[in-house]
Amino acid sequence: MNKMKRVKRLLSMLVLFALLLGTVSCGKQATKRRGDDKTATPTTAATPTGTAAPTAEATATPTAAPTDAPAGTPTPAPTQTPGFGPAENCAIEFPTRDLYHYDMDLTLDAEAHTIGGHVVFEFYNDTNDTWDKLCLRDYPSLFTDPTKSGYSPGTKLDGAVTVVSGFTDGRDGSAIAWSRDTDVSVLWLSIEKPLAPGEKMTLSYDFTAKIPAIDDRFGYVDGVFNVTNFYPILAEYDRDGWCTAKFFGDGECFYSEVSNYDVRITFPAGFRAATTGTEKGKTEADGTVTYTYEAPCVRDFVFSASDTFAKKTRDCGDVRVNILYPKEYDERESWDAAMERTFFIAENSFAAFGEAFGRYPYEELDIIYTPLAAGGMEYPNLIIIADSCCQPVYVFDDRDTADGPSFYMLDECVSHEIGHQWFMGIVGSNSGMQPWMDESITSYTEVVYAEYLNSLGVAAIRNGFEYNDLRDKKRASELTRNGYLPINKSYYEYSNSSRYVGSIYSTGQTVFYQIELILGHKEFQSVLREYVHRFAFTNAMPEDFFTVLYEFAGTENEQLNALLENCFDLSRLKMAS
C-alpha cells in the first residue's frame, strides 16, 4: 500500500485515540527563508489585487470560543508581553512586493489521461547568489516507479516520464539546454547568461504529463481527475542552494514560492472543474469547454475535474465555498446531511481560524469529494476529501435509541485541511525538512476548531493532553527512545512511516496544545497571529517561530522551557544573538 495512503488514515486513528482515551502513541539543518538579505527587486511590480468577497449567508451560527482555562493549567509566567500581536480577526494582506507569475494554456485529454500545454513563467533572482543554472521539479515523472512515488513495490502504475520541450530564455530568445538528474523529478536548466541578484527573467516551455490511474492526489479514478503538482515548477533556492530533496508520499514534501497565476484550461464538453483561484470566464467550441482562472498570491495551482461532478455553493462568512462530488453520491444515505455538515465545518473553521490566526484572505475555497486513499489533501484554495470520511456514526443514549448521525471523522479531516490554508498555505515552510512547521501546527488547528465550538470533545482533548504531559522528563525520554521526539526532524530522519506519523501528527499536536496550556488559550493565539502576520506569504524558518514565541513569553518561563527542551532539539536552531 502506498505510504501516503496510510498517512491520513493513521492520522485519523491516532488523533481519535488520543481524544477519546487520553493517550498518544510512544514515536537538517534549518533552511533560510526566501526574501531574506535581498539585494534588489525588479522595477516593475506585479501586486495581486483581490476582488471583494461574497456577502455572508451563514448557515450555522459560530459558537464563541471558551475563555476559561482547563483545570490544572499552569499559570502563565509574568514575562508575557501584554497586548502582543495583531487583534483577533485581523486582515491578512497580500504582499506589495513583486511576485513570480505563471501564465499557462493547458488541455486535459480525458481519453489519454494527460495534462499539458504552454507555460510562460516570469520570475527574478531574489537571493544574493548569481544563478548560472535553474532547477525545476517535475513530480509526475515519478509515477513510473511505485517506490519512487511512495507506493509499495509491485504496485502497477501506468505513469510516464513528462515530455518537456522548448525551454526558452525570454531575455534573448535563446534555447536552454536541460537534463534530468538521477532523480527524474529534478530538471537542470543551463542558462548561458547567468541571472544576477535582482535580475528578472521569463522562461517559457511546453510539457505533457501523464495522469496515473490511481485514487491519489495526482491520479484518475471513477471519472474524476485530481491534477496536482503536475507542471514543472521552479524549485526553492535557499542557503543550501537549490532544494532537490526526494519526493515522499507520507504527507507533504512540496516547497515553492508564492506566485500569481493566470490559467486557461480546455476540457471535453460537459466537464466541471474546481481549482486554485477563481473562475473568470468560460467559452465553448467544437466539443470542448475552456475556463479561465486567476489565482493571486498562491504557492501552486491545482485542479480536480470530471464530467460527473455535481456542485453545491454557499457563502460561509466572507468566503464562497464550493463543494463538488460525483452526482451518484446524491443517492447515498445521509449524503445531504454530510454536505450540510461540511458547510458547517467550513464556516466554523473560517471563524475559528480567522479569530486565532487572521482572516482567510482569498475569495473562495473548493472542497472536492472523491475516492481517495488518503483521508484528505490540501492545496491553495482547494482541499480534496475522501468520500469515505462522510460515513456517519450513530450515537446512542442510555435508552439505546439513535440520537442522530455524528460526522466526527469529517469534522477532523475537513477542519485539518482548512487549517492548512494558513500552514503552509499562507505561512510556508520546507515541509520535507521541517514537517512540524506544516503538519504539527495544522494538527493543532483541529484543537482550535474544537475549542471554538466548545464541543463535548474539548474535555477529552484537555484530559488527554494533560495526562500525556510532555514537560515530564520520564515521559519525554520514553518518546525519544521510541523515535517520536524531538519533533523538529526531517522526514528522512525517521526510521519508518509510522514513527513519522506518530511524531508529526499526534505528538506534534500534543506539543502545541501544551504550549497553549502553559501560555493560556488567548495568549498562544496572539503568538500565532503575530507569527502568521510577520511571515505571511514567505517560507518561514524554524527560528522564526521560536523568535516570536520568545518575544511573547520570554526565555525564563520554566514550564515552557521544560516542554521545549524535551520536545525539540534546540541545538539545531540558529537564533539571533
Residue among 209, 248, 207 nearest 228 (CA): 209
* CA distances (Å), origin 266, targets 121, 204, 301, 370, 471: 20, 19, 15, 22, 55
- The Cβ-side half-sphere exposure at 111, using a 13 Å CA radius, reads 2
Rounded Cα distance between 169 and 192, Å, is: 9
In a domain, 81, yes or no: no
Q: Are 297 and 277 in contact (CB under 8 A)?
A: no
In a domain, 515, yes or no: yes
Rounded Cα distance between 306 and 24, Å, is: 40
In a domain, 329, yes or no: no
In a domain, 461, yes or no: yes
In a domain, 482, yes or no: yes
Using a 10 angstrom Cβ sphere, with 0-12 exposed, 13-18 middle and 19 or more buried, the burial of residue 133 is: middle
Looking at residue 484, which CATH number applies to its domain?
Answer: 1.10.390.10
In terms of residue numbers, what domain contains 465?
12-20+431-572
Show Cβ contacts of residue 301 under 8 Å, excluding neighbours closer than 6 positions.
Answer: 102, 104, 231, 261, 263, 275, 276, 277, 293, 295, 380
What local confidence, expressed as pLDDT, does residue 41 receive? 43
SS3 track for 307-376? CCEEEEEEEECCEEEEEEEEHHHHHCCCHHHHHHHHHHHHHHHHHHHHHHHCCCCCCEEEEEEECCCCCE
In a domain, 34, yes or no: no
Sheet-wide strand order for 114-124: 174-175, 163-169, 200-210, 114-124, 100-109, 259-268, 288-298, 278-285
C-alpha cell of residue 59: 448557515
C-alpha cell of residue 540: 518561514
* CA distances (Å), origin 554, targets 453, 473, 510: 31, 22, 21
Q: Which amino acid is at 95?
A: P
Q: Are 418 and 383 in contact (CB under 8 A)?
A: yes
In a domain, 164, yes or no: no
- 427 phi and psi angles, rounded to 5 deg: -100, 110
Digit-by-digit pLDDT tens for the chain (577 residues) are 333 433 443 444 443 344 333 333 332 223 333 333 333 444 333 333 333 333 333 333 444 433 333 334 454 444 567 788 999 999 999 999 999 999 999 999 999 999 999 999 999 999 999 999 999 999 999 999 999 998 888 888 999 999 999 999 999 999 999 999 999 999 999 999 999 999 999 999 999 999 999 999 999 999 999 999 999 999 999 888 999 999 988 878 999 999 999 999 999 999 999 999 999 999 999 999 999 999 999 999 999 999 999 999 999 999 999 999 999 999 999 999 999 999 999 999 999 999 999 999 999 999 999 998 888 999 999 999 999 999 887 655 444 444 556 888 999 999 999 999 999 999 999 999 999 999 999 999 999 999 999 865 676 667 676 678 999 999 999 999 999 999 999 999 999 999 999 999 999 999 999 999 999 999 999 999 999 999 999 999 999 999 999 999 999 999 999 999 999 999 999 888 6
Number of structural domains the chain divides into: 1
